[in-house]
């Protein structure tokens, strides 16, 4: 048996290494799965009796019938939920999409609300939007 010279790789190993490196350079890099929908815009309107409504624009480009943005909510800055809306279907062909959250009763002391969206698999999360309520100042 001939001893192998450890300073040089056998030709087939060099070729295999070159092929693997070339393949990995050409392979697409998988991006991380987006877990949550993002709220990208909100328009607030004051209504009678300390109520407000919010036109909420959500981006959830991963939407499919099996997993989608399935809710929106308005919260006080301390996390208290003031109102929410359940969404019952995906919006895969409508990205981004806008839905209205109506008849949200907001105490007089609250000046700013946080709007957040919900994912059917992972729950609430993603980018939020803080909104100063019309007619109320911080």
Q: Cβ atoms within 10 A of the Cβ of 89, count?
A: 9
Q: How far apart are CA 59 and CA 61, in angstroms?
A: 6
List of long-range contacts for 123-131, beta carbons under 8 Å, 24+ apart: 124/36, 124/71, 124/73, 125/35, 125/36, 126/35, 126/36, 126/37, 126/38, 126/39, 127/38, 127/39, 127/40, 128/39, 129/39, 129/40, 129/41, 129/42, 130/77, 131/42, 131/44, 131/54
Model-level pTM? 0.74
Residue 63 has pLDDT above 90, yes or no: no
The pLDDT value given to residue 11: 54
Q: How far apart are CA 77 and CA 115, in angstroms?
A: 10
> What is the average pLDDT across 33-56?
94
> What is the average pLDDT across 7-14?
50
The pLDDT value given to residue 93: 84
Residue 32 has pLDDT above 50, yes or no: yes
Residue 6 has pLDDT above 90, yes or no: no
Q: Provide, rounded to the nearest whole percent, the portion of the chain with pLDDT above 70.
A: 75
Q: Provide, rounded to the nearest whole percent, the portion of the chain with pLDDT above 90.
A: 61
Q: E strands, the chain, where? A: 38-47, 51-59, 69-76, 81-86, 97-105, 112-119, 123-132
Extract the tokens encoding 4. 């192998």
Residue 28 has pLDDT above 50, yes or no: no
The pLDDT value given to residue 53: 97
Q: How far apart are CA 55 and CA 59, in angstroms?
A: 13
For residue 21, give the 3-state DSSP assignment: helix
* Residue 25 host element (H or E): helix 11-26
pLDDT, one tens digit per residue, over 100-119 is 999 999 999 999 999 999 99
Extract the tokens encoding 97. 């999409």
Higher pLDDT, 8 or 67: 67
């Amino acid at each position: 048996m001939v001893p192998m010279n450890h300073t040089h790789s056998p030709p087939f190993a060099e070729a295999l290494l070159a092929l693997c490196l070339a393949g990995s350079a050409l392979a697409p890099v998988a991006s991380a799965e987006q877990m949550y929908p993002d709220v990208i815009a909100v328009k607030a309107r004051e209504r009678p009796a300390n109520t407000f409504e919010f036109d909420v624009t959500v981006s959830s480009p991963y939407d499919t019938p099996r997993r989608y943005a399935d809710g929106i909510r308005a919260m006080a800055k301390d996390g208290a939920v003031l109102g929410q809306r359940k969404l019952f279907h995906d919006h895969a062909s409508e990205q981004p999409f806008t839905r209205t959250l109506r008849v949200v009763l907001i105490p007089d002391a609250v000046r700013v609300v946080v709007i957040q969206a919900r994912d059917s698999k992972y729950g609430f999360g993603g980018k939020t939007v803080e909104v100063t309520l019309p007619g109320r100042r911080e």
